[in-house]
């Protein structure tokens, strides 16, 4: 790689970051304003932290050691992030693979799609205790729950993308003698990329939800476990601390996926308000 190419790529990343900041400074101000109003309401009305702790109280529980509790935030945050990242990656790889299989073969479409629709209709909160009974506690159970929450959007969006190629283009490549494999790798998959990334962005939040649901039911570590344990003992501030971390983690994952989307498809314009 030449120096000029390296500088070009650094420039692309820097321009992307500037675009993100210009696009998002207003939402950031709105969020900060929301936290400020929340803080003022709690202080002015003297609301008990048992019912609604202030943002500063929640952040205090997150960043400062408490005299009567040791939440081991590092351990629990690490466990949750591991679960939802692995759940997301597993969902992404398996979901895209399944979508390719379904579009490749009509037979597989008729066999697999009704099963997926059926599974997706089952409430995950009802399935989780059964999965716990079959697999027991641990990472694999929570990854499976995260997968069940997120795979359907990935599969559906990928299928939509793979099938959205214009008929004229398909006729042309068939006329030129392209094999089915070439059709998929050169035409269908590149065409499906915007749809795939839409599905993956939905999957980021669904994977977070799935990991937390799994921890509610089938874990003794993780942010979901802190929430459920704190709820039982009416220790409300760490619940809000955990919720803040979950939001940041989910948002962070979404931004990473958006960034990878921009790297792979730099020709796709970021939506701009006019």
Partner 1 sequence: MKKVGLVLVLVLVSCTMLFANAEAETQTQELEKVDFLLNWKITGDHAPYYVALEKGWFKDAGLDVNIIVGQGSGYSVQAIDSAKADIAISDAPVPITNRQKGADVKIIGIIFDKHPNCCWFWKDSGIKTPQDLAGKTIAVPATDGHKIMWPAFAKQIGVDPDSVTFVNIDPAAKVSALASKRADVVFELYSGKPFFEKAIPADELGNFIWSDYGFNAYAHSYITSDKTIEERPEMLKKFLDVVYRAWQYTLENPVEAIDILAEYHPINKDDYVANLETVMAFFQTDRYKNIGIGYIDPQRIQDTYDLVDQYQNELSFPVEDCYDNSFLPDPMYKYNF
Min separation Cβ 15 and partner 1, Å? 18
Is 252 near partner 1 (CB under 8 A)? no
- Give, in order, the Cα–Cα distances in Å from 194 to each of 71, 108, 256: 41, 24, 15
Selected from 139, 160, 173, 243, the binder of partner 1 by CB under 8 A is 139
Min separation Cβ 57 and partner 1, Å? 14
Tokens, residue 130: 């059964």
Cα–Cα–Cα angle for 146, 101, 108, rounded to 5 degrees: 100
What is the DSSP secondary-structure string of 155-204?
Answer: HHHHHHHHT-S-HHHHHHHHHTT--HHHIIIIIIHHHHHHHHHHHHHHHH
List CB contacts of 155: < 8 A, sequence separation 6 or more. 95, 98, 99, 102, 116, 199
Nearer to partner 1 by Cβ, of 57 and 113: the residue is 57
**Taking a C-beta distance cutoff of 8 angstroms, is the pair 143, 86 a contact?**
yes
Selected from 193, 243, 244, 255, the binder of partner 1 by CB under 8 A is 193
Selected from 3, 233, 269, 273, the binder of partner 1 by CB under 8 A is 233
69: phi then psi, degrees, rounded to nearest 5: -155, 150
130: phi then psi, degrees, rounded to nearest 5: -70, -40
Is 82 near partner 1 (CB under 8 A)? yes
Distance CA 156, CA 227 (A): 32
Is 136 near partner 1 (CB under 8 A)? yes
Site string for partner 1, 92-131 (x = CB under 8 A): xx-----------------------------------x--
Site string for partner 1, 163-192 (x = CB under 8 A): ----------------------xx--xx--
Site string for partner 1, 32-71 (x = CB under 8 A): ------------------x-----------------xxxx
Selected from 42, 77, 86, 154, the binder of partner 1 by CB under 8 A is 86
Is 232 near partner 1 (CB under 8 A)? yes
- Give, in order, the Cα–Cα distances in Å from 81 to each of 94, 120, 122, 145, 252: 19, 24, 25, 14, 11
Interface region with partner 1, contact rule CB under 8 A, candidates 11-19, 81-89, 172-180, 202-210: 81-89
Dihedral sign of CA atoms 116, 119, 123, 124 in order: negative
Is 215 near partner 1 (CB under 8 A)? no
User: Does residue 147 sit in helix, strand or coil?
Assistant: helix
The residues binding partner 1 (CB under 8 A) are: 50, 68-72, 76, 82, 85-86, 89-90, 92-93, 129, 132-133, 136-139, 185-186, 189-190, 193, 216-217, 219-220, 225-226, 228-235, 238, 260, 263-264
């Amino acid at each position: 790689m030449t120096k000029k190419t390296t500088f070009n790529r650094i420039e692309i990343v820097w321009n992307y970051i500037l675009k993100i900041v210009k696009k998002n400074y207003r939402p950031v101000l709105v969020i900060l304003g929301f936290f400020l109003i929340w803080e003022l309401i709690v202080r002015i009305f003297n609301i008990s932290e048992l019912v609604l702790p202030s943002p500063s109280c929640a952040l205090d529980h997150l960043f400062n050691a408490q005299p009567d509790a040791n939440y081991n935030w590092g351990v629990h945050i690490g466990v949750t992030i591991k679960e939802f990242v692995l759940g997301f990656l597993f969902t992404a790889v398996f979901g895209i693979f399944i979508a390719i299989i379904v579009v490749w073969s009509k037979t597989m479409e008729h066999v697999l799609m009704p099963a997926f629709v059926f599974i997706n209709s089952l409430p995950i909160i009802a399935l989780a205790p059964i999965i716990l009974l079959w697999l027991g506690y641990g990472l694999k159970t929570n990854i499976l729950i995260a997968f069940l929450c997120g795979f359907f959007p990935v599969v559906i969006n990928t299928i939509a993308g793979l099938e959205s190629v214009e008929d004229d283009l398909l006729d042309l490549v068939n006329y030129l003698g392209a094999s089915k494999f070439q059709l998929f790798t050169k035409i269908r998959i590149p065409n499906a990329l915007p749809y795939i990334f839409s599905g993956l962005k939905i999957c980021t939040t669904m994977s977070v939800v799935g990991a937390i649901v799994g921890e509610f039911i089938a874990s003794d570590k993780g942010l979901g476990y802190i929430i459920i344990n704190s709820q039982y003992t009416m220790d409300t501030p760490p619940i809000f601390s955990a919720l803040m971390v979950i939001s940041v983690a989910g948002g962070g994952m979404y931004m990473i996926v958006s960034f990878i989307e921009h790297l792979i498809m730099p020709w796709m314009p970021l939506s701009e308000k006019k």
